[in-house]
Chain A
Amino acid sequence: MAVGLVFLATLPFHANPYLLFVGNLAMLYIVLTVGLNLLIGYTGMLAFQNAALFGVGAYGCAVLRVTLGLPYWLSLPAGGLIAMIVGVLVALPALRLTGLYLALATVAFAQFTLWVFLHWYSVTGGPAGIQMHPVDFGVLASTAEYGLYYLTMAIMLAVVALTWNLVRSRIGRAFVAIRESEVAAEALAIDLTRYKTIAYAISALYAGVAGGLFAAMLGIVVPESYDLFQVIAQFAMVVVGGIGSVWGAVIGAVGLIWVQEALRAFKEFQEIAFGGMILLTVLFLRGGAMSLIKRHIKGWDEPLRRIPRKR
């Protein structure tokens, strides 16, 4: 892990601009996938609105920055907050749904949001989207790319650490209890509404922040980034990495970004590859990549509690 961190931190010094871009992309997808896994993997909600919320964060950040002239350090968290608010608004009706109906309703929401991105010209700029000038990091970084890379890295590390703490508490146990049996969770005095809403809110916040980072990295926000392929890509990251595992989400995000980039020349195969990987994982490797690690690395454990210090 230490080796990986050193590699990440020094990547800008030995990588070409393209690799830096891929690294940056992978890290912001880690932020997104760790959040989505809280909702799908831990809490067991088969919900697909995060592709749209990723877009809401990106558009929120871009509109605030370009149209209203807010600095990036304000528009980025604001975009995240807007996504979180929209996410909770989605959660309110979605709380009553589970399984297939939840999946249908949230995919419909994602399609509706895409329609709004395309047609709300006055705010989103329609199909042409919103151009965003590079973020100026001033004395902190020599170029916008370096600055954004380290900002994404800092946010990614914080998100992984905070989430890793969160799941090893009564909150994480409540999430998993709801996934395994809502009736039994309620019988243990776990408030379903409260904990589902928390899961929706956190995953929406992470998706929104990732969206703001994505917008700054590309320099443009366009509707087609947030279409059905985005839904499938995010879902694939969670499933292939490992449902219900923070580290699985990290592996899934990095692994699938790598696959996506390897297939950049054959764009039509990206969707086939992602769909195929979901299918293969569900058929032959239910726990995703994490289940292999659990099986082959002795002593690997992902507890849902703090291990007491030896006294």
Chain B
Amino acid sequence: MSKLVTRNLSMTFGGLVALDGVDLDVPEGEIRGVIGPNGAGKTTLLNAITGVNQPTDGEVLLDGEVISGLKASRIAARGLARTFQTSQLFAGMTVLENVMTGLHARMGTSPLAAAFGLPSVWREEEDATEKAMSALDFVGMQQFADRDGGELSFGQQRVVEIARALVREPRVLLLDEPAVGLSMTRVSELDALLRRIREERGVTIVMIEHVIRLVMGVCDRITVLSSGRKIAEGTADEVTQNPEVIEAYLGRELDA
């Protein structure tokens, strides 16, 4: 069954066409990679799906329901979680509080109830603490729970960001270059984590990535973008042998 679908998704900024009629169909439980040279429109695609930018044309469907046109926070509330290319872990908050913030929409405390510290608030906070700790446990970061979000290394922030997204029990998890700047050991750990997210949590994953080793290893299928258009789609083998993909990455051979 199709989990996340885009139809003719297009985005223009001024005269610049950043996305040009992209069709995507990600079945439930798949790990989909999205690759492409710099400026291919990968992050634009993610921003259009998550409502950070409203697409100029086309639509996005989650479980068959149209979500494009909604505010970013409404789309997120529908069960779309994402991480960012540059880590967006909140400083001035501990790692645990960061992950608890992920539970925002799953909690119901109103400002008045919070101000008066009603018993229901206590229960909800305890429950949220437990869930957040177990999400940190899942990604192996529980020992960092009380550290400030800004103190962690780049790679650690990445993983906590994934925990913060996972705690929301999303239907689809969108990752924007999760492996950028990670050491090879860390990339292997990420590879294993992504598989566990799919197997144990049943989350569908769409991942933009430059680290080819990760993409080729973990993704079921790969979509290739170039200049805002989808130029190929298929398994790792199919994609790497596609002449159009080779051309997009390496350029055309000069005719003698």
Instruction: Decide if B102 is an interface residue (CB 8 Å cutoff).
Output: yes
Contact pick for A303, options B91, B94, B101, CB 8 Å: B94
When distances are taken between beta carbons in the complex, the residues of chain A under 8 Å from B81 are 187
Contact pick for B97, options A181, A189, A305, CB 8 Å: A305
**Contacting pair B93 A187 (CB below 8 A):** no
Contact pick for A187, options B82, B109, B121, B128, CB 8 Å: B82
Instruction: Decide if A281 is an interface residue (CB 8 Å cutoff).
Output: no
Cα of A173 to Cα of B98 in the assembled complex, Å: 8
**Contacting pair A198 B72 (CB below 8 A):** no
Instruction: Decide if B73 is an interface residue (CB 8 Å cutoff).
Output: yes
Question: Closest CB of chain B to A245's CB: distance in Å?
Answer: 10
Cα of A184 to Cα of B88 in the assembled complex, Å: 6
B112-129 to A contact mask, C-beta < 8 Å, 1/0: 001111000110111011
Instruction: Decide if B103 is an interface residue (CB 8 Å cutoff).
Output: yes
Question: Closest CB of chain B to A40's CB: distance in Å?
Answer: 14
**Contacting pair A180 B90 (CB below 8 A):** yes
Instruction: Decide if A183 is an interface residue (CB 8 Å cutoff).
Output: yes
**Contacting pair A308 B125 (CB below 8 A):** yes
**Contacting pair B168 A188 (CB below 8 A):** yes
Cα of A303 to Cα of B148 in the assembled complex, Å: 11
When distances are taken between beta carbons in the complex, the residues of chain B under 8 Å from A189 are 73-74, 76-77, 104-105, 168
**Contacting pair A176 B90 (CB below 8 A):** yes
Question: Closest CB of chain A to B144's CB: distance in Å?
Answer: 16
Closest chain A residue to B84, Cβ basis: A184
**Contacting pair A171 B100 (CB below 8 A):** no
Interface of B is mostly: helix
Instruction: Decide if B48 is an interface residue (CB 8 Å cutoff).
Output: no
Cα of A308 to Cα of B121 in the assembled complex, Å: 11
Closest chain A residue to B133, Cβ basis: A308
**Contacting pair B129 A305 (CB below 8 A):** yes
**Contacting pair B76 A187 (CB below 8 A):** yes
Instruction: Decide if B17 is an interface residue (CB 8 Å cutoff).
Output: no
When distances are taken between beta carbons in the complex, the residues of chain B under 8 Å from A308 are 125-126, 129-130
Question: Closest CB of chain A to B14's CB: distance in Å?
Answer: 21
Size class of A's contact patch?
Answer: 35 or more
- Please choose the segment from A2-10, A159-167, A247-255 that sits at the chain B interface, where 4 or more of its residues have CB less than 8 A away: A159-167
**Contacting pair B73 A186 (CB below 8 A):** yes
Cα of A109 to Cα of B124 in the assembled complex, Å: 40
Contact pick for B88, options A181, A191, A305, A309, CB 8 Å: A181
Size class of B's contact patch?
Answer: 35 or more
Contact pick for A306, options B51, B71, B102, B125, CB 8 Å: B125
Q: Contacts A187-B72, A306-B126, A308-B126 given: A173-B97 contact, CB under 8 Å?
A: yes
Cα of A142 to Cα of B44 in the assembled complex, Å: 69
A143-187 to B contact mask, C-beta < 8 Å, 1/0: 000000000000000000011011011111110110111011111
**Contacting pair B116 A165 (CB below 8 A):** yes
Closest chain B residue to A202, Cβ basis: B111
Cα of A270 to Cα of B32 in the assembled complex, Å: 63
When distances are taken between beta carbons in the complex, the residues of chain B under 8 Å from A174 are 101, 104
Instruction: Decide if B68 is an interface residue (CB 8 Å cutoff).
Output: no
Question: Closest CB of chain A to B172's CB: distance in Å?
Answer: 13
Instruction: Decide if B6 is an interface residue (CB 8 Å cutoff).
Output: no
- Scoring B52, B71, B114 by chain A CB atoms within 10 A of each residue's CB, the highest score goes to B114
Cα of A170 to Cα of B126 in the assembled complex, Å: 12
When distances are taken between beta carbons in the complex, the residues of chain B under 8 Å from A181 are 88, 90
Question: Closest CB of chain B to A170's CB: distance in Å?
Answer: 5
**Contacting pair A180 B114 (CB below 8 A):** no
Closest chain A residue to B114, Cβ basis: A169
**Contacting pair A305 B96 (CB below 8 A):** yes
**Contacting pair A188 B102 (CB below 8 A):** yes
Question: Closest CB of chain A to B230's CB: distance in Å?
Answer: 24
**Contacting pair B164 A188 (CB below 8 A):** yes
Cα of A309 to Cα of B82 in the assembled complex, Å: 32
**Contacting pair B126 A173 (CB below 8 A):** no
When distances are taken between beta carbons in the complex, the residues of chain B under 8 Å from A186 are 51-52, 71-73, 76
**Contacting pair A163 B115 (CB below 8 A):** yes
Q: Which 3 A-B pairs have the closest CB atoms?
A: A189-B105, A184-B88, A169-B114
Given contacts A170-B100, A308-B129, 18 further A-B contacts (CB under 8 A): A163-B115, A166-B115, A169-B109, A171-B111, A171-B114, A173-B93, A177-B101, A183-B84, A186-B51, A186-B72, A187-B52, A187-B88, A188-B101, A190-B73, A190-B105, A198-B111, A308-B126, A308-B130
Instruction: List 5 A–B pairs whose Cβ atoms lie within 8 Å, in order of A's numbering.
Output: A186-B52, A188-B76, A188-B101, A188-B102, A189-B168
